[in-house]
Amino acid sequence: MSDYTPPIANIEFVLRHVVDLDDLLGSGPFEDLDSETMSMVIAEVGRFIADVIAPINRDGDQIGASWNDGEVTLPDSFRSAYDQFVASGFGAVPFDPEYGGGGFPWITAIAIQEMLTSACMSFSLCPLLTQGAIDALMHHGSEEQRQTYLPKMLTGEWTGTMNLTEPQAGSDVGALTTKAEPVGDGSFRLTGQKIYITYGEHDLSENIIHLVLARTPGAPPGTKGISMFLVPKYLLNADGTPGERNDVSCVSIEHKLGIHGSPTCVLSFGDGGGAIGWLIGDEGAGMRNMFTMMNNARLSVGLQGLAIAERAYQQALEYAQERVQGTAVGAPPGTKSPIIDHADVRRMLMTQRSWIDAMRCLLYENAAALDRVTAATDPDARRRHQEWADLLIPLSKSLCTDLGNELTSLALQIHGGMGYVEETGVAQHYRDIRIAAIYEGTNGIQAADLVGRKLPMRGGDVVLEQLDIITERAKSLGEVEELAVFARNLDAAADTARRATRWLIENGMADPNDALAASSPYLRLLGTVVCGGLVAKAALAAASQLDGDADFNRARLISAKFFGEQLLPMADGLAGAVMAGAEDLFALTGEQLQ
């Protein structure tokens, strides 16, 4: 298995030339920061991750997490790496300095998460869930809760989880039945069972802070009757240190296709009378509060698609350069060529490279939009940034995790038969990334959210305004001779997306099944076109800097050109599926489908 090299130069390029980092820094909550400081932090974190985290990836897969009588044990290398991660302080970088954070924008966390996930996805899930829990407490917890729990969670000494899913309540969270009975002193006793709880039990940290959705007595059915509770693994002593074990137990862990080093737990609350917890925010506001954490997590899960695609691409590229087989066109007769010299292998490598560049643009743009919401002082500007961030969330999560699967599959294909055996390690990437399209809301749910909630914003104008921006960018692209075909394709793709959007506004809203039938192909179409617009911005920046780092910027330019000429046109082929309606989907009975 190849080593992992953090793609620092590509990350820096997107930060500076696509998401306009310099415009974000130096004002509002980020007024004391500059891009040079951020660059130093990202580079140092990248070095740490490559040296400390990447080497444990194989242990996560081959040794994995083990359960014994309620206790979960992780590989020794995980414990050592986690101790070093806590000591580094890198987990606190994007959070409020009042609680021990570094005060950096969220896009810094996204850059760190990308590298951490590429290095070891199983390991990365622990700080990812902790960051989501921190975000929820920042927004909805009381000041006492924040002061009590956040400092230790920011360091990573205590970790966090979110507890939604139950055996009978998967994506339908409103069907959950976990109960929370008031004790009378402000606390509650929780009883019930939760499943698929990532890092719900482990031996890395001193305490685990569970955020749990449950129902109080007399709560109405559905999501309106759900409240959020803070339930620590260990109750705290008067001095704030972990004390008595709370009534939370790990019944089992799942045996999964991938991410073996990440314990996916079944947790039982209240086997001994009730787990003690405290209400977070208002009673009945649990689902709304949890969405803070879920949206945070959805962006991070989308990032997993990029991160594993990047790791698999690095390995496939190295293999293609070393593996000798066949005679390439133009090679001397009788000689054997590295497979990178064969056109089809080049096609697969360029497809990976170009989509990875595009995904990084999309995900970092999404994170930057969230930061601009935080930094904005003008209400109209804040609204626009929030609309853009909200629109991008389902695109980031769904498009990038679908592509994570597809591009990692290409990496395996480049390895040929050696990709299908475990020794090379590429099969691990393929198994690990498969979950990303499923959890944090399946990609079908993300597509339904796009057409049901995000597209209707301002009657569709949020989407249409962004398509107009892309059309204008196509005009600028057309001024660069080398990018003329890209420019024409981008203009045509924006028109296709505009036509599909208007069809959905006019027809999909009248028949929900038509909208839902169109949702997944529409998400792929719109996501591809949005990526095209961002890649065009990157191409223009690279074209303007060819007299600087010529090799690097030429590679960026060719990657963008490949995207615009060979990948972007695929968006046009999705329009028929978007505008076909639901009739064909339901034309056959269940029996006829057999």
The answer to whether 545 and 553 are in contact (CB under 8 A) is yes
Calpha distance 273→8 (Å, rounded): 51
Torsion of CA 410, 411, 414, 417, to 10 degrees: -100
Cβ within 8 Å of residue 290, ≥6 positions away = 136, 162, 164, 211, 213, 228
Cβ within 8 Å of residue 485, ≥6 positions away = 561, 564, 565
**Count of CA atoms in the C-beta half-sphere (13 A) of 331:** 15
Tokens of 139: 């927004």
Calpha distance 423→467 (Å, rounded): 46
Residue among 181, 423, 440, 479 flagged as catalytic: 440
Strand partners for 324? 338
Question: CA triplet 404, 408, 412: central angle to 5 degrees?
Answer: 170
Question: CA triplet 435, 53, 76: central angle to 5 degrees?
Answer: 90
Calpha distance 215→558 (Å, rounded): 55
Distances (CA, A) of 336 to 330, 343, 479, 531: 11, 15, 43, 38
Q: What does the H/E/C string look like for 392-426?
A: HHHHHHHHHHHHHHHHHHHHHHHHHHHHCCHHHCH
Give catalytic status of residue 440 as yes or no: yes
DSSP string, 475-535: HHHTTSGGGHHHHHHHHHHHHHHHHHHHHIIIIITT-HHHHHHHHHHHHHHHHHHHHHHHH
Q: Which of 472, 450, 483 is nearest to 559 (CA)?
A: 483
Catalytic residues: 440
